[in-house]
Structure 1
């Protein structure tokens, strides 16, 4: 893989980044060359996922049973504020990581996370839960965005899909394990404080590792930018390395076909997750399922989602991004339809597996496609913009699902989100082009032959 000594970089790394690279350390791109740091970041992201997982089973039940929150829209307010906070922070995380370095942003995210489980344990009213979820959203935006960017920095272009698969598998695998564990803890010891003690441990370990062991990776992005090779088809020639923040936002959100297609698909994907997080436990409880069974269903979906990404991320490096994303969205739509039609644990379990598989096809592949298209010089900002839209889906999903559920019931809300998901897959199929260079090259050679 490509390598360069620090002395070569000193001429074009700006001063704010000069302190972030250890003197004498050789910077190289590649998963094998950076295996230790990459593995450490996988562990850190698992802890980030655990902070989210502590809420998946317990918080909707806490709102209904402890704080008496009955209206679906009000009950989903914690997801709404989480989504808004995380979406906005995602955007700034990309800009800040370019300006100040990746590691300081990661540490700041963990510092914000520390009070979250304490607030959830001691909250005397639902308003305190809302505040905790604002902090959780800010923390997730800073920590998860930064671990994504740092892994993309380290591995270079060749195995980007596999790297994103590992990253998201660690995060959402931890969401699943924690959701399952908190379900059993809640059934055995009550909804508070036992389930949230896990969050205290996750925050302490994550902050310690990020402060003491994680190294800055911005120099790797600078190295890739210096050796960046334009696409043979000339598609990205207009996306030169010098783009303003506003230009990056417009290209990622609306103008560039692949980037904007990925952004809308990410938003709709998290509509699904907001729905699953906020309303599925209430639907399952209304059917008479125990808290432990609700926890199992709440864990099954992110477990398949997390583990599946170990496969789908690597497959997207071989088969390409576009159709993996489109088919994943359609599979999610079918799974949601089954959940809306069913009333038994067995069918819901099958649908949860399908929903997790569809999400696994989409999640790392969308991130990899952003990395494919965005120039290394503004890639962190593009990732931040994409994650702004993607995690804005939590807020839109909570609001939309809550309004529809209050007016027509939970099952009608599920059908509404399923329809949007199927439409999103169609947009990807029509508008997005294949972004992976290897796949594009093979297709072009086949056509020329």
Structure 2
């Protein structure tokens, strides 16, 4: 909420409280005046009830500058006071019951120029003539108390308003400081995130340059290997030797396809996606790493159902994703005291995707290391055993396939859990 709006609401609340308090004060004042008016009316009733003792009763009732009694005699005009003076009062002449007099009218009757209340009663004398008696009492004392009460009300409202404004100002000042701190924190966070993105971009650029250089350097000896293998193939008469040469040619073709895929990613090109059987891609990756697991004496188990949907992927690149995850898990088990087990499970996810999950019971990974695992050149392996590029490349491949990669320690604290989610191909979404 804006400061001006908040101040406006505070002032509106103060004004509303002031109006309600003033209205209640006026209502209470009117009720008390009505009660006060009953006193002169009761005195007028008492005087009219005993006309034979009227003069004595008038002297007993009257109080200087507070209560006066007037009598309207038959056949005369005006009101006769106890001192014999005759006064005219339009408010009292011809009236009956309780009458409220204004300040000028009260002053004309010899009372303080303040509000006055009168009680007017008519009665018959012994000779049958009709007289009228009026008892007029000033409300000066009551009105003075009322005025003091109003001033107390004003003082209370002013004090309350001052407290509201003071605490409101303090709250707004605190809020402004908090907003400034939040803004500074947000700016600092954005700056840090920007710096991290720049560092990451620099590392990715370095990784791209490195991949380009490696591809260039590897292409020449790879061409030599292909050429020699093609020369040897026609000369092989033994089936076993022929299959070995064919395997060399297949793997060199695979290496060439993977390198070209890496180069495309490094240049920012979109991968060539095709609809592939998820189960077939997973089994191919397992076949590519089986020999490494046998050499490390690490057990590899799989759970790959046959009824899995298709995924849109570049088969060579995504197979490399699974290969990297499986080999990392194998290395983690190989570094353990006793060689362990790696498990690959493939499932259809609940969010319209296919989940490839690799779990191991190796040395494990900390939560902090899991968050940084996909940063280029970050590795937890001993020096000389890792470049820190495997998971970085894996993560980039997964992103280009519109998927996600998550790494975290296993719930039981033994080993690591790596999971890749890839969208189901469009025609298999049903």
The structure with the largest strand share of the pair is 2
TM-score tier, shorter chain, comes to under 0.3
Which structure has the bigger radius of gyration?
Answer: 2
| TM-score when normalising by structure 2 | 0.19
| TM-score when normalising by structure 1 | 0.18
Between 1 and 2, higher relative CO (CA 8 Å, sep ≥ 6) is seen in 1
